[in-house]
Structure 1
Amino acid sequence: MSDFNRDSFSLKGQVAIVTGGARGLGKFYTTALSLYGADVMVVSRTQNGWDEIRQVVEKNGQRVGFFQQDVTAPGAADQIIAATLKEFDHFDILVNNAGVIIRNDVLDYKDEDWQKVIDINLNATYYLSHAAAKVLTKQKHGKIINIGSMLSYRAGKYIFPYTASKHAVLGLTRAYADALAKDNVQVNGLAPGYISTDMTKALQEDPVRGPEIAAHIPSGDWGVPADLMGPMIFLASHASDYVTGVMVPVDGGYLLR
């Protein structure tokens, strides 16, 4: 970026792909991207949340497309890219958000659960990044944003594949950033801290873990989904054109302790 101005954060005229973009934190990424001017292709395994997110994106004045696809299926990455190009003619931003977490005790952890988590959290991220890179490098611009976690940095004694996959996503982000920098494609990550959502409500209300987590956060407060939207726009926009290979923690300082 040669100059900084009010348009540096604008995504007008750009197209973003968001896996898992209709539910959970993904719907907030989709909302933020459309609010700043991007059209969005939402990719998800089911159609849950499609009507709601369509209304949000269209209210923001943008187009939204939908592609129902299991990101772990053979050939899924190429199909997602092809569907996006058919719908929008181009794309500029890929957000690898789809993910899963399965908890169990160390001695009881099942091989099939390990494989499921690795396939969704790591392998799908790799294959879709690979397919996207073939397009983004030709057009000599683009952004890949991988969703990490506090478990990209810390251990998780009941979520072994999740921890392994999110550590690996950090490494994958760095490797892709190095490889694609020459083609003006920036690859970064976003690592949400403990964010208050319906999925984390039980953890917040846990009489032991809830207070433990809050006490570990310097501010003492869990985050809210809106806290992730600004960093997402920064990483997706021209404002971050000289930023690549980093995982941005949005954690209220959790990792400081």
Structure 2
Amino acid sequence: MLQAFPLFSLHGRRALVTGASRGIGFALARGLAAHGAAVVLNGRDEARLDAAAAELRELGHTVNTSVFDVTDQAEVQTSVDAIEASVGPIDILINNAGIQRRAPLEQFSRSDWDELMATNLNAVFFVGQAVARHMIARGKGKIVNIGSVQSELARPGIAPYTAAKGAVKNLTRGMATDWARHGLQINGLAPGYFETDMNQALVQDEAFSGWLRARTPAARWGKVQELIGACVFLSSDASSFVNGHMLMVDGGISVSL
């Protein structure tokens, strides 16, 4: 008889999570660790990263940290190689690092555009490529790129973010097309509207929150822990023949008018 739970076990595996010191990245790292994975937390703020790692270690999890800038391709390659050499093989990559910039499109500055694209799109390629090179050599690996409901939809004031997250969706498909033959599964996880530090201004805006509750079939904001199950699925043997898929976790907002 098939045992279901082992399909979702991450024991004996190591996961690198970018942008992991807070918000969605930290929640996903904590969830992967709870399912047995050793985790490597990445971020640029060493103090914040150390605090996140200490919190997970207090729960009994195996945690390492790696401070590097995901927008610097040379630094990414050096840091990934160092993790592989000194900590161990990266079996799972969660490409989570991201930023938001809001402004009317006709007023959006070139500097904000470049920063947003560097973090939300270039970094997915840089880290994905650096990790995949090692995974390909081993003939296995899981990459989960964090997209967004804005991989499919748009709202006023965030067109560049929408452009980047739409590109992440198709980059995920491209990675799967190139790397599935090597035993890798590359998929995307697309959150809808979740209560995070990045969204606090919107959460506290009663007009926006009211609009969101009316617009979302689930009639509420998402909680970051509600992303864990989908992430574990895409990181585990349960998704062994799932490739190039963008899994929406959005309370139904992307399917309802």
Query: Residue 168 of structure 1 aligns to which amino acid in structure 2?
Result: A
Q: Contact 2:146–2:188 at 8 Å: present in 1 too?
A: yes
Aligned length: 255
Quote the offset at 1:191 in angstroms: 0.5
> Can you list the C-alpha shifts for 1:191-234, whole angstroms capped at 9, x where unaligned?
11111234323212323221111111112111101100111111
Could you say which residue in structure 1 is the equivalent of 2:111?
A: 112
Quote the offset at 1:54 in angstroms: 1.9
- 2:223 is aligned with 1:250: no
Quote the offset at 1:49 in angstroms: 3.0
Distance between the aligned counterparts of 1:66 and 1:87, measured in 2? 12
Structure-2 change in CA distance of 1:83 and 1:153 (3 Å): same
Distance between the aligned counterparts of 2:164 and 2:34, measured in 1? 30
> Can you list the C-alpha shifts for 1:47-93, whole angstroms capped at 9, x where unaligned?
24334422343244332111111111240221231121133221100
Distance between the aligned counterparts of 1:157 and 1:237, measured in 2? 36
Could you say which residue in structure 1 is the equivalent of 2:43?
A: 44
Pairing 1:110-149 to 2, within 5 Å after superposition? 110-149=109-148
Structure 1 vs Structure 2 CA RMSD: 1.5
Structure-2 change in CA distance of 1:74 and 1:233 (3 Å): closer
Pairing 1:50-199 to 2, within 5 Å after superposition? 50-199=49-198
Distance between the aligned counterparts of 2:93 and 2:206, measured in 1? 38
Quote the offset at 1:130 in angstroms: 1.1
> Can you list the C-alpha shifts for 1:77-124, whole angstroms capped at 9, x where unaligned?
212311211332211001100001111122221001100000111011
Moved over 6 A (4+): none
Quote the offset at 1:166 in angstroms: 0.1
Q: Contact 1:22–1:30 at 8 Å: present in 2 too?
A: no
- Local SS of the residue matching 1:158: coil
Quote the offset at 1:35 in angstroms: 0.6
Distance between the aligned counterparts of 1:74 and 1:188, measured in 2? 22
Distance between the aligned counterparts of 2:128 and 2:219, measured in 1? 36
Quote the offset at 1:235 in angstroms: 0.5
- Local SS of the residue matching 1:248: strand
Could you say which residue in structure 2 is the equivalent of 1:13?
A: 12
Q: Contact 2:212–2:220 at 8 Å: present in 1 too?
A: no
Query: Residue 199 of structure 2 aligns to which amino acid in structure 1?
Result: T
- Local SS of the residue matching 2:206: coil
- Local SS of the residue matching 1:49: helix
Distance between the aligned counterparts of 2:97 and 2:188, measured in 1? 13
> Can you list the C-alpha shifts for 1:144-167, whole angstroms capped at 9, x where unaligned?
000000110011331222111100
Q: Contact 1:15–1:88 at 8 Å: present in 2 too?
A: no
Distance between the aligned counterparts of 2:63 and 2:121, measured in 1? 26
Distance between the aligned counterparts of 2:98 and 2:197, measured in 1? 16
Distance between the aligned counterparts of 2:107 and 2:91, measured in 1? 43
**TM-score, normalization: structure 1?**
0.94
> Can you list the C-alpha shifts for 1:171-190, whole angstroms capped at 9, x where unaligned?
00011111111111000011
Unpaired runs of 5+ residues, structure 1, are none
Quote the offset at 1:22 in angstroms: 1.4
Q: Contact 2:42–2:49 at 8 Å: present in 1 too?
A: no
